Amino acid sequence: MPLTLYTYASPPRFYALSGLMVPWFWAAAIALTAVGLWMGFFVAPTDATQGEVYRVIFIHVPAAWMSMLLYLVMAFWAAIGWAFNARLASAVARSIAPTGAMFTFLALWTGALWGKPTWGTYWVWDARLTSELILLFLYLGYIALTEAIDDPRRSDQAGALLAVVGSVNVPIIYFSVKWWNTLHQGASVSLTAAPKMATTMLTAMLIMTFAFWAYAFAVVFTRTRARLLERERNALWVRELVAGGGRS
Amino acid sequence: MNWNSPAEFFAMGGSGFFVWGSYIVCALCMGVEPVLAARRRKRALREAADERNRTARAGNEDGHVQDEED
Amino acid sequence: MNPLFVQVLVRDLRLAARRRIESLLPLAFFVVAVSLFPLGVGPEPQTLRLIAPGIVWVCALLAAMLSVNTLYAGDLADGSLEQMLLAPHSAVWLALAKAAGHWLTAGLPLILASPVIGLLFDLSTQALGTLVIGLALGTPILSLLGGLGAAMTLGLRSAGMLLVLIVLPLAVPALIFGAGAVDAVEQGLSASGHHSLLGALLIATAMGVPWATAAALRISTE
């Protein structure tokens, strides 16, 4: 069977392939997490200014990066699904949203817990945290809209439009929030990690980012597989799948 | 090694609450989410199987449905 | 002038003129909502002057979002939306006409009422002027974004709340620049930067959102 760009756009082929890949993604996620956290807690030194609390960075920054990346990936696949009427692409986009929203929440939660000992309050309206909050609203809006529409096709298409509009707006929103923040707080103290990070800190953070990425693949693929089974319940490939004992 | 004892490790220089509060919530979310996704998939499989058993007509070969289009 | 645009706009204005009380509801909401804040925050003039721009803008935002619900719903219900979409003109004109109609009936009264509201908060004359200009630039943005939200949530169960949730994040830049302009003027700085950005935002919105609205209408009525 010749391999083309569209070979795995077919739901049954994707279902089979992703079923093989998911365990490997889990293995990678666990291994990378183990290495990353070991480096982060046992190799990376104590920070000169922040002490030990800076170690939240090993989940805060990966979560924030993933939240932003996943939104763009979601919008991309939603747009592909809309433009080419590709069922799988739309299913993947819908399946990304909850994970993206979760990472956004984690970024905010860990940011708040990092902020309390560092800046004195659980919440600061700095540009990045505020933008992250608005990103959470964008995710929630996407999920709310797509869940409110019963017809899958209309739901996917409306979601795609919203995700694309949101993506275009993200830079505008970020810029305006940055503007708003600097004007209201004057010459702002740098509210991010110390500008120069020790190499070990950076390495651990990057490893954790890849760990989160592997995790995202595993969860999103699992959810996509569930969604495909739900949507294509009456298709021949699903019927054959469950005829064989239904344990795949 | 950064820590002289497990006690030091858990204390995190006084900010244990914030560090572990972050990590624990993170672990909870990233533990619950995959479980929910896996359960959803199992439920979908079960419902697809029920649907198939319900609508399979007597005398059909396994996997072949009368008016199904490929 | 595109005939679809003209006819839809005139029709909407005529309908609004027939239901004059209903058309003034957004304005009434605006005034009531704005007046709630001093009751909640306290009558201290300094505080009120500080928070006035934000309050006015947020209430204008909410008034726009709450009044934009029925933009397409009525036409969907009586079948005229389908007819308009079948017209040999692009649905972009329909989206523009609806947004323009909404702005004329809901946005313009807000702009005209804002100086009076500003006086309730003891804003200086300069600040009042800045507020009016900002709203003049910003309310069209809100009408356009609201139209997009209305098209996307057309016919859905909890369309009202859904619309607010979807559109508010997109309206944040306008809110920031609009309210920020008045703040700047109150501090003695110039608002021209804010207003330029608002203007740019308006142009960008007008160039992009009607197409998105047209696409949303097609999605929602298929």
pLDDT tens column, B43-66: 999 999 988 888 875 445 555 555
Residue C27 has pLDDT above 80, yes or no: yes
pLDDT in tens, A180-193: 887 654 433 444 54
CA distances from C147 to A48, A240, C71, C210 (A): 53, 46, 7, 8
- What per-residue confidence (pLDDT) applies to A196? 63
CB contact under 8 A, A222 and B38: yes
CB contact under 8 A, A161 and C220: no
Residue at A201 is within a domain: yes
Task: Report how far residue A89's alpha carbon sits from residue A77's, in angstroms, rounded to the nearest whole number.
Answer: 5
- What per-residue confidence (pLDDT) applies to B66? 52
Which residues in chain B have their CB less than 8 angstroms from residue A219's CB? Answer: 33-34, 37
Burial class (CB in 10 A: 0-12, 13-18, 19+), C104: middle
Task: Report how far residue A23's alpha carbon sits from residue A35's, in angstroms, rounded to the nearest whole number.
Answer: 18
pLDDT in tens, A2-46: 788 788 889 999 999 999 999 999 999 999 999 999 998 888 888
CB A176 within 8 A of CB C172: yes
Mean pLDDT of C72-87: 92
- Percent share of chain C, pLDDT over 90: 85
CA distances from A35 to A58, A92, A125 (A): 12, 29, 34
DSSP B14: G
Angle, in degrees to the nearest 10, between helices A57-84 and B16-55:
30
Q: What is the mean pLDDT of chain B?
A: 81
Residue C126 has pLDDT above 70, yes or no: yes
Residue at A4 is within a domain: no
Query: Which residues touch C16 (CB under 8 Å, ≥6 apart)?
Result: C22, C23, C101, C105
| Lowest model confidence (mean pLDDT) among A38-52, A127-141, C101-115, C118-132 | A38-52
Query: For chain B, how many residues are written?
Result: 70
Residue at A6 is within a domain: no
Which residues in chain A have their CB less than 8 angstroms from residue B65's CB? Answer: 236, 239
- What per-residue confidence (pLDDT) applies to A14? 93
Scan for tokens 């009751």, then name that residue. C39
- What per-residue confidence (pLDDT) applies to A182? 73
> At C86, phi and psi to the nearest 5?
-80, -10
Mean pLDDT of B31-39: 96
Mean pLDDT of B25-36: 96
Which chains pack against C, by 3+ Cβ pairs within 8 A?
Answer: A
Residue B67 has pLDDT above 70, yes or no: no
> At A240, phi and psi to the nearest 5?
-65, -35
Task: Report how far residue B20's alpha carbon sits from residue A152's, in angstroms, rounded to the nearest whole number.
Answer: 41
- Residues of chain A short of pLDDT 50, as ranges, are 185-191, 193-194
Domain extent for A44: 12-242
H-type helices in B1-70, by residue range? Answer: 6-11, 16-55
- What per-residue confidence (pLDDT) applies to A191? 47
Residue at A20 is within a domain: yes
**Band of pLDDT at residue C124, cut at 50, 70 and 90:** very high
pLDDT in tens, C146-181: 999 999 999 898 899 999 999 999 999 999 999 999
CB A37 within 8 A of CB A208: yes
Residue C30 has pLDDT above 90, yes or no: yes
DSSP C113: H
Residue at A236 is within a domain: yes
- What per-residue confidence (pLDDT) applies to C103? 96
Minimum CA–CA partner of A245 in chain B: B49
- What per-residue confidence (pLDDT) applies to A190? 46
- What per-residue confidence (pLDDT) applies to B57? 56
The three-point CA angle A199-A205-A207 to 5° equals 100
Residue at A156 is within a domain: yes
Question: Of A94, A222, A248, which to mutate for an interface test with B (greatest number of B Cβ within 10 Å)?
Answer: A222
Question: Which residue from B1, B19, B65 is facing A239, i.e. has the nearest CB?
Answer: B65
Residue at A226 is within a domain: yes
- Count up the domains in chain A and report the number: 1
pTM: 0.90
Question: Which residue from B1, B19, B33 is facing A56, i.e. has the nearest CB?
Answer: B19
Which residues in chain A have their CB less than 8 angstroms from residue C153's CB? Answer: 145, 148
- What per-residue confidence (pLDDT) applies to A176? 87
CA distances from A164 to A90, A96, A171, A222, A240 (A): 13, 15, 12, 24, 36
The two three-digit tokens of residue C156, written as one number: 């859905």
